[in-house]
Structure 1
Amino acid sequence: MKPLALEAILTSMGIKPDKAHQGVSISNVTHNKFYPGNHTLYFRRSGRIFLDGEKFKKFTSFYIVTDSSFSNMDKLRPEQIIMVDDVMKAFFTFTSYYRHLFDIPVVAITGTCGKTTTKEMLKHILQKDCKVQATVSNKNAGCYNLPYLMGIDEETDAAIIEAAVAEPGHMMETCKYFFPTMGVMTMIDVDHTDHFRSFREYVREKEKLIRGLNNKGTLIINADDPHILSMDFSKYRGKLITFGKDKQADWRIKDMYSHKNKTYFKVNYRGKSYTGSVPGLGEHNVYNAVASIATAREMGMKVTSAIKRLASFEHLSSHFEIIEGRNKTVLIDDTWKSNPASLKSGLLSLVDMARSSQRTIAVLGRMAELGIYADEEYKKIGQLLKEIGIDVLITKGFFAKDIAKSAIRAGMKKDNIYHFSEEEEMKSFLDTFLQPNDIVYFKTDDTDHVFDRIIRHLKR
C-alpha cells in the first residue's frame, strides 16, 4: 500500500479531520479485525462484528471507522473512533479514492472457465517489463479484493483481477474496488448457479462488467460463445474486440494441433497470420492464450513479443496436468475445479490425445454449485461419456453416482462403470485394475482432496 496521511483519507470520505489526526501516516487499511496494528485504518463493515476496545488500546495509531458503538469504546482515545453515518458508503468512497491515485491499466477477467489461466498467461507476458499486481491463484472471492487493491502502489504498472461471480452483486462490487479500464470475457456456462434464480440471471451478472467499465475502455470477448453474444452491448461506447474461430473475429483462431503436451495454433489479426504455442492440451488453452495475447496487444505490446513470451508459460498445476503413472500408465490431473464446461472440455481433450491402444478411463467426482441445473448437467455428462466413447467410468461420491446412472441410460455398458465411496477402496481397485498404456483422467470439485491423494498414490 502507498502510505497515506490519515487526514487526506478522512477528507476524501467527507470527514473533517481533528487536530489529533494531523501528521498521522496510514500504511495499512483493512476490514479484518484480526489484523490490528499501528498506522492502520480498520473499517468495521458490519455492526454485527463484535469489537472490544480493550484489545486495541495498546495500538497508538490504530483507527476504527464505524457507524455503531462497540464494547469498551472508552478505552480508546476519541480520535481513534471515526464515526460515520454509513460505514459501507465510507468504505467504498475510500476504495475509489485509493484506486484513482494510480493511472494504470486494470484488467478485469470474467467467465465461467479460463479466468485463472488467462490471468496467469497475461501476467506472464507482461511481468518481464512491468510490475503487475494480480489475483493469486484462484483466490478471487470478495474478501481478497481489499488486500489486492492495497497491493497497488507507486511502482505498480498494471493490475489483473479475476472478477468472479458466485452471487448477485459480485461483479459490481469488484468493479467498485478496481474501476477496471479493460475487460475480458472468456466463456460462460453453468456454474455457481445455486445462488441465482435462473441461468439467465447468472449471465446478466457477468454482463455487468460492461457497466463496471462505465461503458467505455476496452472489452475483449469470445466471439464463439452464444451466452456472451446474447448480452446487451447497445450502451457500450468503448472499444470492442473479439476472438475465436468465427470468421468475423478480430483475432481469428485457425489451425490447432497438439504434440508432446503442447498445443500449437495460428491466429489471424489485421491481415497477418501468427503462429504460437502453449503448454498443455485442449482447444480451451488456445482460447485463453489468444485472449491474453489480444489483451497484451491492447496494452501496448507487440503481437510477436507476446506470443514469444507465452511460449515459456508453465502449465498450471491440476489444469489437465499430464503425469507419468506407475506401470506405464498416464494420469491426467484436471482437479482444479469441476463444472460442466470444463469437464466437457477435459473429456474431449482426453479422447483427442488417446491412442487406439489406450483405454480411456474417466474418474469423476461431483460438480458443485449448479443449483437447479445439477440433474440436467449430470445427465448431459453421462450422455457425453457414451457419445465420445470413454472406455471406463469410475465415479466417487453420492452426487457423481448420477453421472454413472445417466451413462448407463445412454447405453454405456454397466460392466465398464464402477462407483466408490471410500478412498482406500478406490485405491485398492485402481492398483489391480489399471493396465500399461491406460490413460486415466481425474476430475472433481476442488474441495475433494481424496483425488489428490489417489493421484499421488498412482504416480510413478
Structure 2
Amino acid sequence: MIRGDRSLWLKTANFGKPKYLRSDQIYFYTKKKSWNQQLDAIRRVRPKALVLPRSLSHHQIPPSVGLVTVEDTFAAFWRLALWNWKQCSPRVIGITGSAGKSTTTEMTASILKRKWSMIKTQGNLNTYSFLPSYLVRLSPGHRILLLEMGMKSLNNIARQCRVVRPEIGAVTNVGEAHVGSLGSLDRVVRAKQELIDGMRPGGILFLNADDPRSRKLSTHRFRGIVRTFGIRNPADVRAHSVRYTARGMEFRVRLDKMDYVFRIPVFGVHNVYNALVAIGIARALHVPIRDIQEGLARFQPPKMRLQFVAGRGGRTLINDAWNANPTAMMEGLKVLKHVAGGRPAVAVLGDMLELGGLSRWAHQQVGRFVAKITPDWLVTVGKDAREIGRTAVSHGMNPSRVRHFSSREGAARFLQQLPRNAVIYFKASRKLHFEKLVRQLRAP
C-alpha cells in the first residue's frame, strides 16, 4: 500500500468501469479502457482507494485517494473476490444452455427474489472473466448466487464451477450457438458437460427430456439427483395443456399429485420450457407453488427477447434481435405466426454468425421452415441470410414475397411501405444490430 488507511471500510469494488465509479468504492485499473478516461473519473469522484499496476505513474492521483500498487490488477481483483466469497455461504445455482439461459435465469430470479436476497448475472456478462464481479458483491445476507454460465471456448464453464461448485444446475438445451468458435456440435456438448461435472456432490441437475442433443450429456459420474423437464416426453416437471393467451402463455404442470396452472407474460412454447426449469429449481428449494405462480406471472423479460414494440402506423414490431441461432430463430417465427393471426406476418431475418462450417446448413434449415409457415413477407439482410430466402423459394415460397437487402437502411425503406397493420418480427446475430432497425420503425 503506497498511501491510505489500512483499516478503511470499503463498501464495494469496481473493476474497470469508470462510468459507474462511486466514492465508497475501491477502483481497480483496467488496461481495456484508456487511462485518461479512468483518471478523469477518479479525479471527479475520488473513490476511497485505487489499485494500479506498479508500472503506471500515480502522481496525478488526488492525495485523498488511498493507493495500492500491484503487478496485475485483474489478479488482485480475483484475490479480493475469492476472499469475499469465502466469507459468504450462498446456495449456488448454475444455468447454461445454447438458447434460453438468460430468460431462464431471469424467470428463476423473479421467483426466488420474493423469498431471498440474491446476487445474479447481469445482462450477458456470463463468462469466467465476469465471475469475480459477482463474488465481490456478495455479503453474508445474500442467500442465493444465481449464475448464467456462458462460454465461447471449452473449459470456461469448468473454471467457473471450480470456484463456485453449483448446488443446483440446469442445461436448457444443446444447440448450434457458438459452434463456430468451438468447432463442432460434439464440442458444444462437451462445453455443457462441464457444468454437470463441476457440480458439488448431492446436487440437483435439470435436463431437457425433449432435446435430442441433451441426451448426449453424461450423468454417469454425477453424484446427485437428476431431474428432467419437458412437454412431449415423460419428465419430472412436465407441462401440458399449453396454449397462447392474449398476453403470453398458459400451461399446466402436475406437482405433488395435483395440477397447477402457470402463466408467463411472454409468447412461445420455448419460453414454457424456460419456465419449467425455473419451476423445477424453485421446487428444489421448497418454494411454495403460489409464490412460483406469482413470480412467473410478474416476470419481466430481458430486452430484445421477443419484446413487443408499437410501430409506426399501427404496426406491431417484435424485437427478438439480441442474438440468433437456427433453433431460436425458428421458435421466434412460430411466435410471429401465432401472434399475427389474420394480420400480415413479416419475417425480417439477418445473418446468423458464429456457426462455422454449419452456417450454410443452418440458414437453409431456417429457409425450409419459413416456407413451411408461409409468412406474408420474408425480408433478409446480410450476406449469409440470403441463403434463407433462396431456400424458402426453392421449397415453395412465392418469390415475389421475398426481398433481400445488404443493409438495414434498405430493409427499413421497404418495411415502411408494408401494410399498417402488419406484425413484423426481427431476428439476427448481435453484430447486425437489428435493434437499430426496430428503432427506425417504432412509433414516435
What range is the shorter-chain TM-score in?
A: 0.7 to 0.9
Map of 1:439 onto structure 2? 423
Residue-by-residue CA offset, 1:386-421 (whole Å, 9 max, x unaligned): 122223110112222122222223232221111112
Q: CA deviation at 1:292?
A: 0.8
User: How many correspondences in the alignment?
Assistant: 430
Map of 2:198 onto structure 1? 212
Map of 2:360 onto structure 1? 375
Per the alignment, in what secondary structure is the counterpart of residue 119 of structure 1? helix
Matched, 1:152 2:108: no
Per the alignment, in what secondary structure is the counterpart of residue 235 of structure 2? coil
Q: CA deviation at 1:316?
A: 3.4
Which residue among 220, 238, 243 is the counterpart of 2:229? 243
Q: CA deviation at 1:148?
A: 1.3
Query: d(CA) in 2 for partners of 1:260 and 1:33?
Result: 41
Query: d(CA) in 1 for partners of 2:184 and 2:409?
Result: 39
Q: Which has the larger radius of gyration?
A: 1
Which residue among 225, 238, 241 is the counterpart of 2:211? 225
Relative to structure 1, the CA distance from residue 116 to residue 60 in structure 2 (aligned partners, 3 Å threshold; closer, same or farther) is closer
Map of 1:262 onto structure 2? 248
Question: Which amino acid in 1 is paired with 2:393?
Answer: I
Matched, 1:428 2:400: no
Q: CA deviation at 1:361?
A: 1.3
Q: Is the contact made by 2:158 and 2:194 (CA closer than 8 Å) also made in structure 1? A: yes
Query: d(CA) in 2 for partners of 1:305 and 1:49?
Result: 43
Where in structure 2 are the equivalents of 1:272-421 lying within 5 Å? 272-355=258-341, 357-421=342-406
Residue-by-residue CA offset, 1:418-440 (whole Å, 9 max, x unaligned): 111234432222222x1144222
Residue-by-residue CA offset, 1:152-209 (whole Å, 9 max, x unaligned): 1122121211100211121022224433221111112101122212110111111110
Report which stretch shifted further, 444-453 or 149-158.
Answer: 444-453
Residue-by-residue CA offset, 1:240-266 (whole Å, 9 max, x unaligned): 221112553111111111111221000
Map of 1:130 onto structure 2? 116
Q: Is the contact made by 2:155 and 2:194 (CA closer than 8 Å) also made in structure 1? A: no
Relative to structure 1, the CA distance from residue 63 to residue 197 in structure 2 (aligned partners, 3 Å threshold; closer, same or farther) is same
Relative to structure 1, the CA distance from residue 187 to residue 283 in structure 2 (aligned partners, 3 Å threshold; closer, same or farther) is same
Q: CA deviation at 1:141?
A: 3.7
Query: d(CA) in 1 for partners of 2:81 and 2:409?
Result: 49
Question: Which amino acid in 2 is paired with 1:414?
Answer: P
Residue-by-residue CA offset, 1:213-265 (whole Å, 9 max, x unaligned): 13441212222112222111001111222111255311111111111122100
Q: CA deviation at 1:340?
A: 1.2
Q: Is the contact made by 2:81 and 2:136 (CA closer than 8 Å) also made in structure 1? A: no
Query: d(CA) in 2 for partners of 1:176 and 1:369?
Result: 27
Query: d(CA) in 2 for partners of 1:400 and 1:257?
Result: 31
Question: Which amino acid in 1 is paired with 2:188?
Answer: Y
Relative to structure 1, the CA distance from residue 435 to residue 23 in structure 2 (aligned partners, 3 Å threshold; closer, same or farther) is closer
Percent of aligned pairs sharing the same letter: 26
Q: Please give the TM-score of this superposition, normalised by the length of structure 2.
A: 0.84
Where in structure 2 are the equivalents of 1:23-42 lying within 5 Å? 23=7, 32=16, 40=26
Query: d(CA) in 1 for partners of 2:176 and 2:353?
Result: 10
Relative to structure 1, the CA distance from residue 100 to residue 362 in structure 2 (aligned partners, 3 Å threshold; closer, same or farther) is same
Where in structure 2 are the equivalents of 1:66-85 lying within 5 Å? 70=55
Map of 1:108 onto structure 2? 94
Relative to structure 1, the CA distance from residue 49 to residue 305 in structure 2 (aligned partners, 3 Å threshold; closer, same or farther) is closer
Report which stretch shifted further, 106-115 or 166-175.
Answer: 166-175
Over aligned residues, Cα RMSD in angstroms?
Answer: 3.5
Q: Please give the TM-score of this superposition, normalised by the length of structure 1.
A: 0.81
Relative to structure 1, the CA distance from residue 255 to residue 62 in structure 2 (aligned partners, 3 Å threshold; closer, same or farther) is same
Query: d(CA) in 2 for partners of 1:308 and 1:60?
Result: 41
Q: CA deviation at 1:97?
A: 4.3
5+ residue gaps, structure 2, are: 61-66
